[in-house]
Structure 1
Amino acid sequence: MTLEAMMTGTDRSSEVATDGGRVQLAIADLTSTLTNDFDLPAMLHSVAEHARVCFGASTVVVLLLDRRAPGRGVVHIVAEAASEGHSVDPRFHTSGPGLMSASESAVAMVDDLAHADDTRWPEYRERATAAGLRGMRAFPVSALGVPLGSIVVHTEDPWGDARPRSFGQILADLTAIGLASGTVDGRRLSTSDAVDSVLRGSATIAAAVGILTEYLRLEPDIARLRLNRLARARGLTVTAQARMIVDAHNSSPGDLERTGVLSPANVSSARLIGRD
């Protein structure tokens, strides 16, 4: 099942698949991606969406450590996925157990955020429980012993024993492989340069999604899908397409359609989502 099918509901195969079946589909999709040329930011969003589906999560984020920032322990969200009715709040993803996991390259586990006997990360726990979240896992992303980031998963029920046990760390390890071998804007980079480039590109993608959300009156997930489709139709990376949209908005903020950035170079038979 493709990422697009999961986001739009056009593929119903997951409804009859077991949890193990979902996990196998996710691993097969990501390993197939890693054996071809791929756009790293897009791959990271696939990781987040697969984690959301397979864990039955409320929110999933991919965090990367920002080694450019002064001091230590600064992380940024570079990919995210949220189920209906939930949104990603950076305040409890970039602090507490997520930050610890990314910085110390360690798994963080909270079975039930409402459990009074667990007093770790009190400010984080207050915010997370106020948002209706109960369970949490953070899986470290590292390469050659160097911490790179973390995949942080939140659920609206206590974590329990039914969720896949090793899948989260498999996703984190595949993410590390992607950072070591992927391309950004068509360029192959070292792992550290790839992280820096993704951190810069994620801000551009977020800005472009926000522009599409407002201009086309779309939900953020659908705006991101529209961005992905435009990039694919033009033969561009998502980052490059996002940069074009941001530049067009800066030059013609009230008339994006006139700039041509919302029209694919080659119109496919599939109708683009949003105002055409």
Structure 2
Amino acid sequence: MTSQTSDPLDQAMARSQGLDTLLRDLTDRAVGQVPGAAACSVTVRRADRLLTLAGSSGLPSGLDLRQYENGSGPCVDAAETDSPRYSPDLTAETRWPAYTEYALATGVRCVLALPMAVEGETGAALNFYGMEPDSLARGREAARAFAERAADAVNEALRLERQRASAADVRTALLSRSVIDQAVGMLMARERIDAHRALARLRRASQHRNVKLRDLCGELVAQASGGASRGRQ
């Protein structure tokens, strides 16, 4: 079994503070591990739009964007059909004429786009660019293996982000509940009413002022705390 410290993708995951950092690390490492790859990028489909989430340099962003604008190209095909696309020599390529012309002008001669199974995305691809004809031929198997491991790493990062978001939501909910309870208690003591009536008053006031209940309660608690502090001085 490969240890966590020996797998470059696991190392990237361990150092990553979020999905964006991980993706940048993955594209950089892909160029170093796949023979013939001069650049690499990650394409995903979100809300019916294709986006490049990360690239090893500025080169892939322009190449990917031209494909998205035309709705045609190897990255688009790989993300939308879940099938790999390989063009060993763009000078002989006929499938994507507009994209091919642009890519050749940048010096790119060879493209490999591999689909990635990313949870929550309707399409994703890892894209490799070579600067010589058929320069990615020797690295195709390495690229496929890398794409599979990259998908695993991205899915793990997404899972961790969901966990962090869920924990943050819980903390926010608990803080909101605490400040609302404090405001209810203050109103009960001041107006000599029960908790149900105090909460009803606070809700009416929040609706009247068009502010969230927790924000209104936070103001009341802060005002009371400020008054208490001044009273002790």
- Same fold, TM exceeding 0.5? yes
Which residue number corresponds to residue 62 of structure 1? 42
1:159 aligned onto 2:134: yes
Among all aligned residue pairs of Structure 1 and Structure 2, give the percentage whose two residues are the same amino acid. Answer: 21
Alpha carbons of structure 1 residues 171 and 155: separation in structure 2 relative to 1, 3 Å: same
Which residue number corresponds to residue 61 of structure 2? 88
Q: Is the 8 A contact 2:36 2:135 kept in 1?
A: no
Distance 1:101 1:27 in 2: 30
Letter in 2 for 1:100: D
Give the unaligned 5+ runs of structure 2.
Answer: 166-233
Q: How does 1:114-263 map to 2 (within 5 A)?
A: 114-115=91-92, 118-143=93-118, 147-160=122-135, 163-183=138-158, 187-188=162-163
- The structural deviation recorded for 1:129 is 0.7
Give the unaligned 5+ runs of structure 1.
Answer: 1-25, 191-276
Distance 2:153 2:65 in 1: 26
Which residue number corresponds to residue 108 of structure 1? 85
- Kindly report the root-mean-square deviation, in angstroms, between the aligned alpha carbons of the 2 structures: 3.3
Q: Any idea what the Cα deviations from partners look like across 1:21-58, whole Å, max 9, x if unmatched?
A: xxxxx982103444787522111111111122233433
- The structural deviation recorded for 1:184 is 8.3
SS in 2 for 1:63: strand
- The structural deviation recorded for 1:167 is 1.9
SS in 2 for 1:44: helix
SS in 2 for 1:76: strand
Structure holding more helix per residue? 2
- The structural deviation recorded for 1:75 is 1.1
